[in-house]
Amino acid sequence: MIPGAFDYHRPATIEDAVGLLAKLGEEASILAGGHSLIPLMKTRLASPEHLVDLSGIGTLKGITVEGDDIIIGAMTTQFELITSDTLSRHIPIIAETSRLIADPQIRYKGTFGGNVANGDPGNDMPALMMCLGASYAVSGPDGSRDIAARDFYQGAYYTLLEPGEILTAVRIPIPPPGHGYAYEKLKRKVGDYATAAAAVVLTMAGNTCASVSIGLTNVSETPLWASDAAELLIGTSLDKSSVDAAVAAAEAITNPASDMRGPAEYRTKMAGVMLRRAVERAQSRARA
Ligand code: FAD
């Protein structure tokens, strides 16, 4: 299928992009890698009259360490997340998750910023960003602000981004050395969105879980941060009964749709299975 007609703009700076979006108003859409937006345009579910392509803005790309945080520019591709030495040293779960997104061709073009700004509950990065306690830097006509990933997602395709605002970068606190991590994703085939997925980052003190954070993908209208489930694991040895209780608490906050990936009850149970596997693998990777 062929998208409707549109005008194409390629600003060179964030300021120019913000100015263009303010001038063009509601008829304009931001274009990043295009791997969520263009399919919608081809089926005419989206028909923007203007596309503002961010790919000419060099400052939106790159991965840097700033104190105890890592900053990832919005236009950094999913492929670049996988090949980054900085990320593999400090936050390896980002590469692990990125490898499970779509297929290599999509990851060469699809961007990190597009994945988190899109608001599709099927995207894998949002739940991970909630798990990691990330915050999103955005710029718009009223200036710049930061939004916590845990507050950002309001509903399917509905986020706290205001019209005309651009997500410019994501700030992620580096988890402690020796942390354990795992992203477990059930999908029907390579390249598919998750039937259910779970992100876990934890630290152990001897045999005791000292801290843990849990994110869930594609089992509600928004990505989920499962804080009650995590609380049930802290201070335990991650023994079976503690994990059973955490799994039950995580399943209780899911509200998936019944769709071609399975009935809602199945997807809820698969969220529990993914969480159980992620806790087990994260524990096996943690160094006390
Ligand atoms: P675009 O498609 O260009 O933009 C997506 C939306 O975000 C648009 O509304 C756009 O206006 C907005 N946007 C983009 N960048 C910004 C910004 N910086 N600031 C504000 N708004 C912005 N994703 C997964 O996570 N997991 C999968 O398993 C998966 N499988 C896929 C399978 C297929 C066949 C396809 C086609 C895509 C799949 N995707 C999957 C989606 C893919 O990861 C997209 O690349 C990603 O969702 C969006 O990134 P993008 O750079 O392509 O954004």
The 10s digit of each residue's pLDDT in 212-251 is 999 999 999 999 999 999 999 999 999 999 999 999 999 9
Nearest to 199 by CA among 217, 211, 178: 217
Q: What share of the chain is helix, strand, coil (3-state, %, to 5)?
A: 40, 25, 35
Residue 111 contacts residue 74 (beta carbons within 8 Å): yes
The two structure tokens encoding residue 18: 């913000």
The answer to whether residue 95 is domain-embedded is yes
Query: What ligand 1 atom has the least distance to the C-alpha of 192?
Result: 28
pLDDT, tens digit (0-9, with 9 covering 90-100), for 195-209: 999 999 999 999 999
Distance from CA of residue 142 to its chain's centroid?
Answer: 25
pLDDT of residue 1: 80
Q: Could you list the residue range(s) of the whole structural domain that residue 150 is in?
A: 60-173
Nearest to 206 by CA among 90, 123, 288: 288
The answer to whether residue 237 is domain-embedded is yes
Residue 201: give its domain's CATH number.
3.30.390.50
pLDDT of residue 82: 98
CA of 111 to the centre of ligand 1 (A): 7
Q: Name the residue with tokens 């961010």.
A: 54
Mean of pLDDT values over 37-56: 96
Whether the predicted pLDDT of 131 surpasses 80? yes
Query: What ligand 1 atom has the least distance to the C-alpha of 54?
Result: 18
CA of 115 to the centre of ligand 1 (A): 4
Mean of pLDDT values over 142-154: 98
Query: How many CA atoms lie within 13 Å of 39's alpha carbon, on the beta-carbon side?
Result: 5
Q: Which residues surround ligand 1 with Cβ inside 6 Å?
A: 29-37, 39, 54, 74, 101-102, 106, 110-111, 113-115, 117-118, 123-124, 161, 166-167, 191, 193
Residues 159 and 249 placed together within one structural domain of the fold: no
- Minimal-distance CA residue to ligand 1 atom 46: 115
Whether the predicted pLDDT of 253 surpasses 90? yes
pLDDT, tens digit (0-9, with 9 covering 90-100), for 73-97: 999 999 999 999 999 999 999 999 9
Residues 216 and 130 placed together within one structural domain of the fold: no
CA of 125 to the centre of ligand 1 (A): 10
- ipTM more than 0.95? yes
What distances in angstroms separate CA 96 from CA 13, 80, 185, one per listed residue? 31, 12, 11
pLDDT of residue 179: 98
The answer to whether residue 1 is domain-embedded is no
Number of independent structural domains in the chain: 3
Query: What ligand 1 atom has the least distance to the C-alpha of 32?
Result: 3
Mean of pLDDT values over 57-74: 98
- Minimal-distance CA residue to ligand 1 atom 32: 102
| Domain boundary pick from 145, 173, 201 | 173
pTM: 0.97
Average pLDDT, the chain: 97
Query: What ligand 1 atom has the least distance to the C-alpha of 194?
Result: 28
The two structure tokens encoding residue 272: 């529990």
